[in-house]
Amino acid sequence: MSIASNLGFPRIGPDRELKRALEEYWAGRSSAAELASAAADIRRANWHRQAGLGIEHIPSNDFSLYDHVLDTAVMLGAVPQRFAQRTTLDDVQRYFAMARGLSDGRTTVPAMEMTKWFDTNYHYIVPELDAAQELHPASTKPIDEFEEAKALGITTRPVLLGPLSFLRLAKNHRTAQPTLAFLDAVLPVYEQLLARLHAAGAAWVQLDEPCLVLDLTSEQRRAYQSAYERLGTAGPRVLVATYFGDLGKNLATALSLPVAALHLDLVRGPGQLAPALHRIPDSMSLSLGVIDGRNVWRADLDAALARLAQAARALGGERVLVAPSCSLLHVPVDLASEPALDDELHGWLAFATQKLEEVATLTTALRDGPSTVRAQFDEARRARERRRTSPRTHDHAVRERERAITEDMLQRAPYGERRELQAEALALPLLPTTTIGSFPQTAELRRVRAAFRAGHVTRNEYDTFLRSRIQQAIRFQEDAGLDVLVHGEFERNDMVEYFGEQLTGFAFTQHGWVQSYGSRCVKPPIISGDVSRPHPMTVAWATFAQSLTSKPVKGMLTGPVTMLQWSFVRDDLPREEVCRQLALAIRDETVDLEAAGIRVIQIDEPALREGLPLRAQGWRNYLRWAVNAFRLASSGVADRTQMHTHMCYSAFDDIADMLAYLDADVLSIESARSGMELLETFARVDYQNAVGPGVYDVHSPAVPSAQAIEALLGRALEVLTPEQLWVNPDCGLKTRRWEEVQPAIRAMVTAARTVRAQHEHGTVARAAAAPTRVG
Beta strands (DSSP E) in 136-209 are 157-161, 171-172, 204-208
Q: Is 676 in the site for ligand GLN (CB under 6 A)?
A: no
Residue 43 or 554 with smaller CB distance to ligand GLN? 554
Piece of the chain touching Zn ion by CB under 5 A; list 111-119, 241-249, 470-478, 642-650 = 642-650
- When CB distances are held under 5 to 8 angstroms depending on the partner's kind, the choice from Zn ion, ligand GLN, none that residue 260 binds is none
The conformation of residue 330, written as its DSSP 8-state character, comes to G
Does 732 sit near ligand GLN (CB under 6 A)? yes
Segment near ligand GLN (CB under 6 A); pick from 357-365, 435-443, 536-544, 719-727: 435-443
> How distant, in Å, are the alpha carbons of 197, 269, 613, 643 from that of 221?
27, 20, 21, 46
247-286 footprint of ligand GLN as x/- string (CB under 6 A): ----------------------------------------
- Are 48 and 152 spatial neighbours (Cβ–Cβ below 8 Å)? yes
Does residue 438 bind ligand GLN (CB under 6 A)? yes
Helix (H, G, I), strand (E, B) or coil at 417: helix
DSSP per position, 547-603: HT-SSPBEEEEE-HHHHHHTSEEPSSS-HHHHHHHHHHHHHHHHHHHHHTT--EEEE
589 binding partner (options ligand GLN, Zn ion, none; Cβ < 5 to 8 Å by kind): none
Nearest approach in angstroms of CB 605 to Zn ion is: 9
- Minimum CB distance to Zn ion smaller for 311 or for 731: 731
User: Which partner in Zn ion, ligand GLN, none is near 734 (CB below 5 to 8 A by kind)?
Assistant: ligand GLN
CB of 602 to ligand GLN, least distance (A): 7
- Lay out the site mask for ligand GLN across 535-574 (x = CB under 6 A, - = otherwise): ---------------------x------------------
User: Nearer Cβ to ligand GLN, position 436 or 526?
Assistant: 436
Beta bridge partners of 520: 517
CB-nearer residue toward ligand GLN: 14 or 525: 525
Q: Pick out residues in 684-713 that bind ligand GLN (CB under 6 A).
A: none
Residue 236 or 729 with smaller CB distance to ligand GLN: 729
Among 373, 410, 648, 695, binds ligand GLN (CB under 6 A): 648
Round to whole Å and give the CA distance between 316 and 20.
46
Residue 57: how many other CB atoms lie within 10 Å: 22
Least distance from ligand GLN to the Cβ atom of residue 394, Å: 32
Nearer to Zn ion, 356 or 648 (CB): 648
Active site residue 535: no
Q: How many residues bind Zn ion (CB under 5 A)?
A: 3
CB-wise, 722 or 732, nearer to Zn ion?
732
Choose the binding region for Zn ion from 355-363, 505-513, 522-530, 648-656 (rule: CB under 5 A): 648-656
Q: Given candidates 73, 436, 690, 725, which one binds ligand GLN under the rule CB under 6 A?
A: 436
Q: What sign does the dihedral 498-503-504-505 (CA atoms) show?
A: negative
What is the footprint of ligand GLN within residues 6-65 (CB under 6 A)? Answer: none
Task: Work out the angle between the directed axes of helices 575-595 and 396-403 (0-180°, nearest 10).
Answer: 90
Could you tell me if 220 and 180 are in contact, meaning their C-beta atoms sit under 8 angstroms apart? yes
Closer to ligand GLN by CB, 269 or 606: give it: 606
Identify residues 477-496 at the interface with ligand GLN (CB under 6 A): 489, 495
One residue of 664, 731, 741, 745 binding Zn ion per CB under 5 A: 731
Instruction: Map residues 591-630 to x or -, x wherever contact with ligand GLN holds by CB under 6 A.
Output: -------------x-x------------------------
536 in Cβ contact with 468 (< 8 Å): no
Question: Based on CB atoms, which residue is closest to Zn ion, 647 or 679?
Answer: 647
d(CA 709, CA 723) in angstroms, rounded, equals 18
Choose from Zn ion, ligand GLN, none: what does 590 bind? Cβ within 5-8 Å by kind. none
* Nearest position to Zn ion, beta carbon: 648
Residue 235's binding partner, choosing from ligand GLN, Zn ion, none, with beta-carbon cut-off 5 to 8 A by kind? none
Question: Which of 136, 456, 535, 699 is an active site residue?
Answer: 699
- Computed on alpha carbons and rounded to an integer, the radius of gyration of the chain in Å comes to 27
Cβ contacts of residue 208 below 8 Å, gap of 6+? 7, 159, 160, 161, 162, 165, 241, 243, 327
| Of the residues 648, 667, 716, 752, which one makes contact with Zn ion according to CB under 5 A | 648
Q: Minimum Å distance from CB 561 to Zn ion?
A: 14
Determine the Cα–Cα distance for residues 685 and 655; give it in Å rounded to an integer: 11
Residues near 441 by beta carbon (within 8 Å), at least 6 away in sequence:
490, 734, 735
* Region near ligand GLN per CB under 6 A, out of 36-44, 160-168, 436-444, 762-770: 436-444
Minimum distance of ligand GLN from residue 648's CB (angstroms)? 5
In the chain, % helix, strand, coil (3-state, to 5) comes to 50, 15, 40
d(CA 571, CA 585): 20
Are 462 and 495 in contact by the 8 Å Cβ rule? The answer is no
Give the range of 337-345, 433-441, 620-628, 684-692 binding ligand GLN by CB under 6 A: 433-441
Which partner, ligand GLN, Zn ion, none, binds residue 367 by CB below 5 to 8 Å per kind?
none
Rounded Cα gap, residues 540 and 584, in angstroms: 20
Contact assessment for residue 261 and residue 283, using Cβ atoms and an 8 Å cutoff: no
> What's the CA gap between 675 and 652, in Å, rounded?
14
User: Up-side HSE of residue 34: CA atoms within 13 Å toward CB?
Assistant: 12
Closest CB 484 distance from ligand GLN, rounded Å: 13
Which residue, 50 or 645, has its beta carbon nearer to ligand GLN? 645
CB atoms closer than 10 angstroms to residue 414: 11
Distance CA 142, CA 68 (A): 11
Cα distances (Å, whole numbers) of residue 234 to 56, 137, 140, 258? 23, 15, 17, 11
Closest separation in Å from C-beta 486 to ligand GLN: 8
Contacts of 416 (CB under 8 A, 6+ apart): none
How many residues touch ligand GLN under the rule CB under 6 A: the total is 13
d(CA 145, CA 158): 8
Piece of the chain touching ligand GLN by CB under 6 A; list 50-58, 259-267, 570-578, 728-736: 728-736
Instruction: Name the residues that contact ligand GLN, by CB under 6 A.
Output: 436-438, 489, 495, 556, 604, 606, 646, 648, 731-732, 734
Instruction: Name the residues that contact Zn ion, by CB under 5 A.
Output: 606, 648, 731
Active site positions, annotated: 699
